[in-house]
Structure 1
């Protein structure tokens, strides 16, 4: 009984290896044809193959190879991973400011001028959440008053309030 299970397991592993090898060779686009036929590829053929690979651009409609799975061809400015707790906390803490622009894909919140509750000075904010970590480095806040930039202490207080609220939201979600 045990011997038959081992034999079946060996057959299954050979089949899996054969399928994997076939997938790898198919993904190479036939580039190993000359190698398996015993011939060598000329320098011209190699240069032409490299030129064709360089012409392949993402979204051009051309088929890629299996190796394209292991490359990051997206430009780094396409999307930014945003920490959802910091994002929601920033919207909650700055809810007294009228929102002008919100882009969760790039992590940017821009507001118009507004006065905080109990305050007399109007502020305008620009917030950038640029990392998925719940960390102070993931948050950049810029505050402006109608007279110019806000003080460092005010900016620090707003950042601290956003990060504190983000931690509270995370704790609430995890049921801690």
Structure 2
């Protein structure tokens, strides 16, 4: 019995020691000069690699947003007429609330935009459109979305993203 307890304690100690092997013995972040920390962050909460207006700079590292900044901003601009329910920049998902247009109060729409890539590409954005109509009892029921509506929204997002990219490159010159 004592031999089993000793074996378990020994194995637990080995696991603990092997788990600590990845720790560095360098200077602690807590002891680092605040000015040095600010310099490392380069003014961004997320570090140097995140540029919300566009793509990360070459050689800036691999951490940061998983989506293209131009597509992200263009998506928000394009669907700004609908109230947002959720916007996850790291996951690349934008979800709107159900909303009716003033010209058609008996139907409402909800959009979900997926940014799929870190590059500005035509296949980097997908839009899902949901539509509901009010029936005679006043309840909202699902209805079909006209063909081509998601593709037209995707094209509008891509056009806006290209404009944002061109504008940002022109401002660098």
Which bin holds the TM-score, normalised by the shorter protein? Answer: 0.5 to 0.7
1:101 is displaced (CA, Å) by 0.7
- Provide the residue aligned with 2:109 in structure 1: 123
Match of 2:69 in 1: 84
Distance 2:76 2:102 in 1: 15
**Which runs of structure 2 are paired with 1:127-138 in the superposition (5 Å)?**
127-138=113-124
| Alpha-carbon distance in structure 2 between the residues aligned to 1:149 and 1:165 | 27
Moved over 3 A (4+): 115-121
Post-superposition Cα deviations, 1:38-94, rounded to whole Å, max 9, x if no partner, equal xxxxxxxxxxxxxx89x97xxx654179xxxxxxxxxxxxx8620111100110110
User: Among residues 130, 153, 159, which one is paired with 1:144 in the alignment?
Assistant: 130
Query: 2:161 aligned to 139, 163, 166, which one?
Result: 166
Segments of structure 1 that go 5 or more residues without pairing to the other structure are 1-51, 66-78
For residue 140 of structure 1, report the CA deviation from its aligned partner.
1.1
Kindly indicate which of the two structures has a greater share of residues assigned to strand: 2
Aligned residues: 109
Unaligned runs of 5+ in 2: 1-13, 25-63, 133-141
1:144 is paired with a residue whose SS is strand
CA distance in 1, matches of 2:130, 2:149: 10
Query: How does the TM-score come out when normalised to structure 1?
Result: 0.53
Instruction: Measure how far apart 1:116 and its partner are.
Output: 5.1
- Which of 63, 66, 69 is the equivalent residue of 2:22? 63
Cα deviation for residue 131 of structure 1 reads 0.6
Q: Write the distance in 2 (CA, Å) between the matches of 1:115 and 1:89.
A: 22
Cα RMSD after superposing both structures: 3.1
Q: Name the TM-score, length of structure 2 as normaliser.
A: 0.53
